[in-house]
Amino acid sequence: TYIDEPFELATKSNVVWRPNNFNNRFEGQITLARALTASNNIVTIKLLLEIGIHRVVDLAQRVHLDSVTIPYPSLALGCVDTTLKQATAMFNVFANHGIYVEPHYIKWIKNNLGEKIWRHRATSEYIMDARIADQVARVLMNGLGRARALLWRSKPWIDSEGFSKTGTTNDSRICWFAGATPSLTTVVYVGCDDNRSLGKHVYPSRTAFPIWINMHNKLASKQKKFSFDGRLKERSINARTGMYEDAAPGRETLAILE
């Protein structure tokens, strides 16, 4: 657990950075699972500083986020330039048990006889232990379940399990929604070509998320459930204390793997 509280960081040039959460509120003690699910900025920054910014830069480069080169604390908030292709490939690492697969558009080419005369040979790289990737994926499943409960209760849902993560820049200039099912990983970007604001109180839940869910409603999943590392067991915890015994009906709980 970490403490979500007012936070400031002085730079070498004596400029004080005072980041905030998107709702300008602080929750006190919360678990890392809760922080990830709720996009809590303060706890994410504290975690980045504890584990070391250079380690995060190294991991970002290993998943081919090429623009991540300078170790700024704001990396914790996703303050990087990237493309849909790069973002999708990065997010797919968690759906693919820690393995990075190079995105590609053409799987094979056939001749007029139907013979495959060329086949794409996708490159793949080991990025992280399957247990770590699967733990992140299971936490992010809580976020998609919360979106269904709050936003999509009476509408058609996807025909499989899924997990997701949203992203929003300052002034709502860009809205991201990254989502994965056991069969497909996709990322939706909503923004203006000239980078102007989309308006006040514009979030991915009302823009990118409906696009993603409507698309996946039309795509049948061959697999319905994720397969997780057999060394992990699912547990329910209190989202704030992290205690198992506090995970009771009527309290905010999260499912995790450990």
Is residue 248 predicted with pLDDT exceeding 80? no
Which pLDDT belongs to residue 63? 96
Instruction: Report whether 65 contacts 86 (CB < 8 A).
Output: yes
| Mean pLDDT value of segment 143-172 | 89
Is 80 exceeded by the pLDDT of residue 234?
yes
What confidence score (pLDDT) does residue 109 get? 97
Looking at per-residue pLDDT, the higher value among 240 and 201 belongs to 240
SS3 labels along the chain: CEEECCCCEECCCCCEECCCCCCCCCCEEECHHHHHHCCCHHHHHHHHHHHCHHHHHHHHHHCCCCCCCCCCHHHHHCCCCCCHHHHHHHHHHHHCCCEEECCCCCCEEECCCCCEEEECCCCEEECCCHHHHHHHHHHHHHHHHHHHHHHCCCCCCCCCCCEEEEEECHHHCEEEEEEECCCCEEEEEEECCCCCCCCCCCCHHHCHHHHHHHHHHCCCCCCCCCCCCCCCCEEEEECCCCCCCCCCCCCCEEEEEC
Q: For residue 172, which phi and psi values (nearest 5 degrees)?
A: 50, 50
pLDDT at 97 over 80: yes
Supply the pLDDT for residue 13: 83
Checking if the pLDDT of 251 tops 80, the result is: no
Cα(90)–Cα(62) distance, integer angstroms: 9
pLDDT tens digits, residue range 110-131? 999 999 999 999 889 999 999 9
Convert the pLDDT of each residue in 146-159 to its tens digit.
888 888 888 889 99
> Residue 250: pLDDT band by 50, 70, 90 thresholds?
low
Q: How confident is the model at residue 108 (pLDDT cuts 50, 70, 90)?
A: very high
Q: What tokens were used for 218?
A: 């039309």
Q: What is the pLDDT of residues 24-53, one digit of tens each?
A: 999 999 999 999 999 999 999 999 999 999
pLDDT at 183 > cutoff 90: yes
Highest mean pLDDT among 14-18, 46-50, 81-85: 46-50
pLDDT exceeds cutoff 90 at 255: yes
Mean pLDDT computed over every residue of the chain:
92
The predicted pLDDT at position 212 comes to 96
Find out whether 47 and 8 touch, Cβ atoms under 8 Å. no
User: What digits encode the pLDDT tens for the residues 204-228?
Assistant: 999 999 999 999 999 888 899 999 9
Percent of the chain topping pLDDT 90: 75
